[in-house]
C-alpha cells in the first residue's frame, strides 16, 4: 500500500445504507458494511498496513490520474492517462432500497479507451477494523473472503461475450493479487458483494450495464426534483447529491460524515467518529432540502426528528445530541490501539463519547426545523406536539445551567452563550407553532422564559471590553457559532452590538476569508493541539456578511470558498493552514451550510439586481 493519500484526494460512492471512499489512483481505502456505522472492511485510510484496501491500478507504466463524476450522479470515473493508452475505472454502488440489508455491491468497471494497458488488482480486506482474520477461497469466477463476522465476495464479469483475461491469479497470504491486460475497446468489471455464502459467479456484460443504468437513472431522476435555478447550481447540486449519499434510507437519518477518526490536525488527537446522526445536522438538513424542493427527504428527516422528540418528551428528558442511524443511542467510545491513524494521527476512536453530553442548543435547532417544515406544509402530529410541549417545559426548567456547547467540549461544562441563544429560539418557535394552529401549551410561561433568556444574553453574553458577544459568560473568547444570531432573529443585522461582534470576528477569527470556530489557545476545551478553519463557520460568515450589508464581501468570500473544495467539489470538515482539507470527509455540515448560504445569498443578489 502506498503512502497516505491526501484526505481531499477521494471521491465518495454509496448506496443509501453505506458508502466507500475511492482515491484518485483507483484504490478503495474506506468501506464499512452493512451500515455506515458498521466495522470497516477496507480501512487503509486509518492504517495503510493494517487497514485493508482494494486497488486497481496500471502496472509497469508511468501515468497520471484524473477523477470526475458522471454528471448529475455519484458514479465516479477515475481516468489513467499514459503515453501507451487511456483507461477508466467506473465505480458505483447500486441503490439498495429502504429495507435494511446485509447485501451491498460495489461495481468496478474497467474500460480501455485508447491503446493498451496492464492492470494490477489487489484485494486485501481487513474485517472488523483489522481485528479479525479471514480465509481466502479462489474460484474460477472470482474469490471469497470469509471472516467470523462477515463475508466478502468478488465476482468477475463476462464482458462483450468473452471472459476477461486473468493472469497469475494469486493467493498471497490471504490477499488476492491478479493481473489483466486490456486492449483498446475492451471492458471488464469486478462486482464486490457483502453477505451470502454462495460461490462467486460471472456477471454478464448485460447485467453490469443494467446495474450501471439503474444507478445512473435513479440519481438523475432524483436530482430532477430539485427546483434550484439560482447561481452556483453545479456546486449546490453536488452538495445535494453528497448529502443524499450520507442518508440511511431505511430511517431517513443523515450521518455527519461516512468516516471515523480523520484528524482535525495532522498528528493531533482531535480525531472523532462522525458516522452517526446529530440532531443539529438533521435539523439544518430540513432547511437545506426544503429550500431545494426535496420535500420527500425533508419529510423523512422530520419524521426521524419527531421520533426523537417523542422519546425525549415522553421521558421528560433532553434530546440526546446524536444517535445511530437506526435511532438507538448506544455510542460507546473505544480506542483502536492497533491502528496508527491517518498519517500517524492517533488515537483512532470509534463510537462517540460526546453522545451523553448535555447540549442545550439542539432543542432550538429542532424547534426551528419544525417551524420551517410547518411553514412548508409538513405539520407535526398531535402526539408529536404533546411530546414537544413536554420537551419545551423541560427546557423551561433547565436552560439556565452549564452545558458542553455546540463544539462538544470535553472539559467542564460552561454557561455557553450559544446554548442560551438556541434555547431562546426553542421557546420562540414553540410560541409561534402554538399560535399558528391554536395548539395547547403553557405559552405564558414560554414567553416569560424566552424573554428571560434574551435579557440574560444581553446582560452577560456581551463583553464590553472586547466589544463582542462571547462564547461563554464571564469569559473573553470569541465564538464563530454566534454568526447565526441575525439569521435566527435574535438581533437585527444593523444593531451596533451585532456590528461590533462581526468586526471582532473579522479581526480575530478570520484568516484569508476562512473562519476558525474559536481559538483553542483561548478556550479551555480539554484537548491539546490546534485545528484548521471550520468550513461551516466560513459559510455562516458569508451569510452574516450578506445580511449585515456587506454583500460584495460576502460574494467574494463565497467564491473563494469554492477554491478550497476538492476536485469533485467535496468538502471535509476543516481547511488546514496549508490549504489542504482535514477532518472527516465529506462533511454534512459543510455541504448543508453551502446550500443554505447559496439560497440566501442568491436571493439577496437578486433583490439588489432588481433595485438596480
Q: How confident is the model at residue 523 (pLDDT cuts 50, 70, 90)?
A: low
Name the DSSP class of 132: S
Asked if the domains at 10-223 and 233-611 fall in one CATH topology, the answer is no
The per-residue pLDDT of the chain, averaged, comes to 92
- pLDDT the model gives residue 165: 47
Percentage of the chain exceeding pLDDT 70: 96
Positive/negative CA dihedral, 255, 260, 266, 268: positive
- DSSP string covering 483-522, please? GGTTTTTSS-TT-HHHHHHHHHHHHHTEETTEE-S--TTT
Name the DSSP class of 6: P
User: Is the model's pLDDT at 490 over the cut of 60?
Assistant: yes
Three-class DSSP labels, 190-248: EEEEECCCCCCCCEEHHHHHHHHHHHHHHHHHHHCCCCCCCCCHHHHHHHHHHHHHCEE
Q: How confident is the model at residue 22 (pLDDT cuts 50, 70, 90)?
A: very high
- Give the best-scoring range by mean pLDDT among 130-144, 165-179, 276-290, 477-491: 477-491
Instruction: Note the pTM of the prediction, 2 decimals.
Output: 0.95
- pLDDT the model gives residue 526: 58
Q: Which CATH architecture has domain 10-223?
A: Distorted Sandwich (2.70)
| Domain locations in the chain as residue ranges | 10-223, 233-611
Q: How confident is the model at residue 123 (pLDDT cuts 50, 70, 90)?
A: very high
State pLDDT tens for residues 584-602.
999 999 999 999 999 999 9
The angle, 0 to 180 degrees and rounded to 10, between the axes of the packed helices 382-398 and 443-460 is 40
208 vs 445: CA distance, rounded Å: 62
Closest CA to 407 of 270, 588, 304, 277: 270
State pLDDT tens for residues 392-447.
999 999 999 999 999 988 778 999 999 999 999 999 999 999 999 999 999 999 99
State pLDDT tens for residues 436-483.
999 999 999 999 999 999 999 999 999 999 999 999 999 999 999 999
State pLDDT tens for residues 149-179.
999 999 887 555 343 445 556 888 899 998 8
Find out whether 516 and 574 touch, Cβ atoms under 8 Å. no
| Average pLDDT rounded to a whole number, residues 313-320 | 76
Residues 6 or more apart in contact with residue 319 via CB below 8 angstroms: 279, 308, 309, 312, 362, 363, 366, 391
State pLDDT tens for residues 37-56.
999 999 999 999 999 999 99
Domain spanning 233-611, CATH class:
mainly alpha
Find out whether 517 and 534 touch, Cβ atoms under 8 Å. yes
Find out whether 51 and 130 touch, Cβ atoms under 8 Å. yes
169 vs 138: CA distance, rounded Å: 8
Amino acid at each position: 500500500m502506498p503512502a497516505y493519500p491526501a484526505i481531499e484526494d477521494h471521491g465518495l460512492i454509496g448506496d443509501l445504507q453505506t458508502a466507500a471512499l475511492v482515491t484518485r489512483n483507483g484504490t478503495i481505502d474506506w468501506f464499512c458494511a452493512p451500515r455506515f456505522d458498521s466495522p470497516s472492511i477496507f480501512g487503509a485510510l486509518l492504517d495503510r498496513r493494517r487497514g485493508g484496501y482494494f486497488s486497481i491500478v496500471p502496472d509497469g507504466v508511468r501515468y497520471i490520474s484524473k477523477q470526475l463524476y458522471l454528471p448529475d450522479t455519484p458514479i465516479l470515473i477515475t481516468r489513467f492517462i499514459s503515453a501507451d493508452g487511456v483507461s477508466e475505472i467506473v465505480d458505483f454502488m447500486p441503490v439498495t432500497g429502504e429495507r435494511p440489508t446485509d447485501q451491498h455491491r460495489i461495481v468496478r468497471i474497467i474500460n480501455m479507451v485508447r491503446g493498451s494497458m496492464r492492470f494490477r488488482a489487489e484485494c486485501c480486506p481487513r474485517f472488523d477494523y483489522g481485528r479479525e482474520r479471514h480465509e481466502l477461497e479462489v474460484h474460477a469466477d472470482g474469490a471469497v473472503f470469509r471472516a467470523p463476522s462477515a463475508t466478502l465476495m468478488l465476482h468477475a464479469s463476462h464482458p462483450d461475450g468473452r471472459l476477461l483475461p486473468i493472469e497469475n491469479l494469486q493467493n498471497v497470504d490471504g490477499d488476492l493479487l491478479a493481473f489483466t491486460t486490456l486492449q483498446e475497446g475492451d471492458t471488464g468489471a469486478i462486482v464486490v458483494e457483502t453477505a451470502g455464502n454462495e460461490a462467486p459467479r460471472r456477471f454478464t456484460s448485460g447485467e453490469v450495464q443494467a446495474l450501471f443504468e439503474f444507478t445512473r437513472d435513479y440519481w438523475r431522476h432524483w436530482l430532477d426534483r430539485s427546483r434550484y435555478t439560482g447561481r452556483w447550481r453545479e456546486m449546490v447540486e453536488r452538495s445535494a447529491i453528497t448529502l443524499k449519499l450520507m442518508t440511511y434510507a431505511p430511517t431517513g437519518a443523515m450521518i455527519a460524515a461516512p468516516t471515523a477518526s480523520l484528524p482535525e490536525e495532522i498528528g493531533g488527537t482531535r480525531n472523532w467518529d462522525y458516522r452517526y446522526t446529530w440532531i443539529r445536522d438533521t435539523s439544518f438538513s430540513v432547511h437545506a432540502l426544503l429550500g431545494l424542493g426535496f420535500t420527500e427527504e425533508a419529510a423523512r428527516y422530520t419524521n426521524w426528528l419527531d421520533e426523537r422528540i417523542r422519546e425525549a418528551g415522553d421521558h421528560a428528558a433532553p434530546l440526546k445530541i446524536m444517535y445511530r442511524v437506526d435511532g438507538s443511542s448506544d455510542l460507546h467510545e473505544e480506542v483502536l490501539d492497533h491502528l496508527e491513524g491517518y498519517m500517524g494521527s492517533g488515537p483512532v476512536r470509534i463510537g462517540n463519547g460526546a453522545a451523553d453530553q448535555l447540549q442545550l442548543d439542539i432543542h432550538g435547532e429542532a424547534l426551528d426545523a419544525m417551524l420551517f417544515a410547518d411553514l412548508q406544509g409538513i405539520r407535526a402530529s398531535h402526539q408529536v406536539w404533546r411530546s414537544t410541549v413536554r420537551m419545551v417545559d423541560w427546557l423551561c426548567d433547565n436552560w439556565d445551567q452549564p452545558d458542553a456547547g455546540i463544539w462538544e467540549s470535553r472539559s467542564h461544562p460552561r454557561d455557553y452563550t450559544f446554548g442560551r441563544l438556541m434555547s431562546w429560539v426553542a421557546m420562540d418557535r414553540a410560541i409561534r407553532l402554538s399560535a399558528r394552529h391554536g395548539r395547547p401549551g403553557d405559552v405564558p410561561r414560554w414567553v416569560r422564559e424566552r424573554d428571560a433568556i434574551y435579557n440574560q444574553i444581553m446582560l452577560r453574553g456581551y463583553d464590553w471590553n472586547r466589544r463582542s458577544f462571547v462564547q461563554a459568560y464571564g469569559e473573553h473568547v470569541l465564538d464563530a457559532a454566534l454568526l447565526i444570531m441575525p439569521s435566527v432573529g435574535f438581533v437585527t443585522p444593523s444593531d451596533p452590538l451585532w456590528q461590533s461582534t462581526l468586526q471582532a470576528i473579522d479581526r480575530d477569527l478570520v484568516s484569508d476569508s476562512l473562519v476558525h470556530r474559536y481559538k483553542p489557545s483561548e478556550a479551555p476545551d480539554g484537548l491539546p493541539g490546534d485545528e484548521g478553519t471550520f468550513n461551516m463557520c466560513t459559510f455562516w460568515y458569508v451569510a452574516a456578511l450578506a445580511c449585515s450589508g456587506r454583500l460584495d464581501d460576502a460574494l467574494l468570500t463565497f467564491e473563494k470558498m469554492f477554491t478550497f473544495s476538492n476536485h469533485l467539489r467535496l468538502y471535509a470538515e476543516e481547511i488546514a493552514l496549508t490549504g489542504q482539507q482535514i477532518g472527516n470527509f465529506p462533511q454534512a455540515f459543510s455541504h448543508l451550510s453551502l446550500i443554505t448560504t447559496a439560497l440566501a445569498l442568491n436571493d439577496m443578489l437578486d433583490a439588489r439586481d432588481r433595485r438596480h
